[in-house]
Amino acid sequence: MHKIVDNLLSIQNGIKLKIKKLNQQNFNPNIVAVCKTFSMNHISPLINHGHIHFGENKIQEALTKWTNIKQDFSQIKLHMIGKLQSNKVKFALSLFDYIHSLDNLKLAEKIAKEELKQNKKIKIFIQVNIGEEEQKNGVFPNKLESFYKICSQDLGLNIIGLMCLPPINKNVESYFAKMLNLRNTVDLPDLSMGMSEDYLNALNYQANYLRIGSKIFGNRS
């Protein structure tokens, strides 16, 4: 068996043990294999193994890698996890199934217009700036409820959950706990949080989309 598939199986086993420990047997989180910068030589073993969820953070790279593959493997779900510029929305909607990085009204309006043009509804996470860091993208927690209402009610977007990138070198679990509280406040089903170094911590707070890259594919060169 390919090493990358072995890595995925090891992660899945660890998640199963964690869920058993949490006594949440019906909980079934999705592993988004973050494959940015990796070629199809690395990704194909996972596709052939039957893995479905893959994440990319650059539109042009994703178009080059995935356009033909998604035609051949229609079950694949592709996640846009990076910063999405409004001028790239039409390309994102044509290829991706999920957007994890909705963080401003201009982008929300552009997505809504493009959905009408393409007659397609995409699943969307609002990116929350959970650490309230000026240098990071994302909606501040105190603005979330109003932003969510505009996106869902006024623009008709299919907002399914919240996403975050917690501050580095801080108590990550405190931020995951805040995200769970925010998710409950706006009454959404999904949480996109937890990466290679902290996905098991994220499971303590009901994260059900885990964005895992290096733990599967190895370190990027």
Boundaries of every domain in the chain: 3-217
Its CATH class, for the domain covering 3-217, is: alpha beta
**15, 26, 44 from 29: Cα distances, Å:** 8, 10, 22
Q: How many residues does the chain have?
A: 221
pLDDT on residue 25: 80
Residue pLDDT, tens place only, 87-140: 999 999 999 999 999 999 999 999 999 999 999 999 999 999 999 999 999 999
Query: Which candidate, 190, 111, 200, 202, places its Cα nearest to that of 165?
Result: 202
Taking phi first (over 0 means left), then psi (-120 to 50 degrees means alpha), and beta for anything else, what does residue 132 get?
left
Grade residue 35 by pLDDT with cuts at 50, 70 and 90.
very high
- Average pLDDT, stretch 177-186? 98
CA 59 to each of CA 56, 89, 122, 208: distance values in angstroms, whole numbers, following the listed order: 8, 9, 15, 24
Q: How confident is the model at residue 217 (pLDDT cuts 50, 70, 90)?
A: very high
